Amino acid sequence: MERIVIGMADCGIAADARSRLVTYALGSCIGLALYDPVAAVGGLLHFMLPDSTQFPGKATENPYKFADTGIPLMLDRLCAQGASKKRLVVYMAGGAQILDSEGVFEIGKRNCLAARRVLWKHGLLLAGEAVGGMDFRTVTLEVATGRFMLDEAGRPRELTPAVRKKGESTWRTVS
């Protein structure tokens, strides 16, 4: 399999079944994976901050740095490769409290909320998430299968949609 590394404030789209998209060391940043099982196309976004309006001009330089500009651009690129918003499976990981031990800025939490807000605006819900906590995470999206693999502090596992219990609104794995 071809490993495509997605750096910080970057996004990768792949339609080749041999591809695996991977991003390393997610702290307060978010790794957002979108996958269309019919078109067999996937994308992985590693964004750093929730809101580009707080940093005028920075989103023009790099829209993938922010949730509010990176997610819509990622969706446009996926749809250009044949994906349909109606079929997208969405996973999210990261949003940890790493450098802010007192929780003053809560960048990780704000990133999670911003991602949910943008996804909701586009009619998308999370199939699974691993957010919060204090551990770094590495995530991998396998394009051939849509598997979303997660490594939290040396504990690898697959994040898959769990069976929903009555009354639950989303599936989630929180550390």
Residues classed as catalytic? 29
Maximum CA pair distance of the chain?
Answer: 45
Please spell the DSSP secondary structure of the chain, one letter per residue.
-EEEE--TTEEEEE--TTEEEEEEEESSSEEEEEEETTTTEEEEEEE-BS-GGGSTTHHHH-GGGBHHHHHHHHHHHHHHTT--GGG-EEEEEE----S-TT-SS-HHHHHHHHHHHHHHHTT---SEEEE-SS--EEEEEETTT--EEEEETTEEEEE-PPPPPTT-----EE-
What is the C-alpha separation between 50 and 111, in angstroms, rounded? Answer: 5
Neighbours of 156 (CB within 10 A): 10
